[in-house]
Structure 1
Amino acid sequence: MNGRALLAALALCSAIPAFADDGQALFVQNCSSCHGADAEGIEGLAPPLHNPELWQALGENSARYIAGVMTGGLSGTINAKGLDYFGLVMPPQSHIDSADLQRIAGYVISLNEAAAAPDQALIDQFKAAPLTHKALRDIRKGN
C-alpha cells in the first residue's frame, strides 16, 4: 500500500464512530433520554432496564420481550422495581438499524445476566410483524 492509499484508509477509518460496535454507547445515544444513562430508569417517565429480577424471571423469553418492545414499542401500565408506570408509551424503535438494536439489546441483557439477547433475525421478524402491546405485557407477566 502506498503512502496516499494508507492515509486515505486511515482517514476513512477515523470517520467511523468509535462506538459503532458498542452497545452501551448506542444505548446512551438512543435510549438514555428516557431510561437514564445507567439504565436505572427515570421515575414517572420510563422504567429501569437494569432490573435483574425481571430479566431473570423472563428467562428464555427475555430475547422475545426485548426485541418485541424495541421494534413495536410498549404502552399501558407496568410495574418495575416496585413502582407503577401508568400510561407508559414507548414508541417503536424500528427506525434503528437491526444490527444496532441487537447491540443495544445485548448491552441491556448483559446488565442483567439474563438468559439470552435476541439475534438479528428475531429483530427483523418483529420489525416486519410487531408483537401487540398486550402480548408484550403478557410476556412480562409470565403469561
Structure 2
Amino acid sequence: MTVSDWLTTLGVVVTLISMAVSIRQAVSARASSHAAKNAMAVVQLAAVGERLKSAQEHIRDIAPDKAQVRGYKVGNRFDLIRREFDKALSALPKAGHGSVARQQLTKAQTELNDYQASFVLKPDPTKWQALQVLVQDTISELGSNTAEIGDTK
C-alpha cells in the first residue's frame, strides 16, 4: 500500500468517527430539547393548578350558607372566579397534557354561571357543590399530568 492509500484510509476512518460523534451529539441534543419541553409543561400545569387553588378560596366565599348571612355581600367574587378560570383556560392546551383538565374547567364555568343565576333568589347548593368538585377534579388532573410528565423525563 502506498502512502496515498494510507492517508485515504486514515481520512475515511476519521470521517466515520466524526460522523458517529455528530450523530451521538444530535441524539443528546434532541433528548435535552424534549426534557426542556417537558419541564416547561410541568411548570405551566403546576401554575394553573395554583391559580385554581386561589379560585377555590373564592368559591368558598360564595357558599350557599353565606347568602343567608345578614349583610353579607358577594361583591365581585363571581367575577374573580371567572377571571381565574379564564386565565387557567388560556394556559391549558386543547390537545395533549392538560386537555382533560381544560374540559373539566369548561364544565366548571357552566356550573359557575348556573350557580350565579340561582344565587340571587335561592342559592342552589348542588350547583355550588358541583362547581367545587369540578375545580378539585381539575386540580387533581393537573397534578396527575405533572407527575406523568415528570416520569417521562
For this structure pair, what is the TM-score category when the shorter chain's length is used for normalisation?
A: 0.3 to 0.5
Query: Which structure features the higher share of strand residues?
Result: 1
Relative to the length of structure 1, the TM-score reads 0.32
Which has more helix, going by share of residues? 2
| TM-score, with structure 2 as normaliser | 0.31
Higher relative contact order, structure no. (Cα contacts within 8 Å, ≥ 6 residues apart): 2
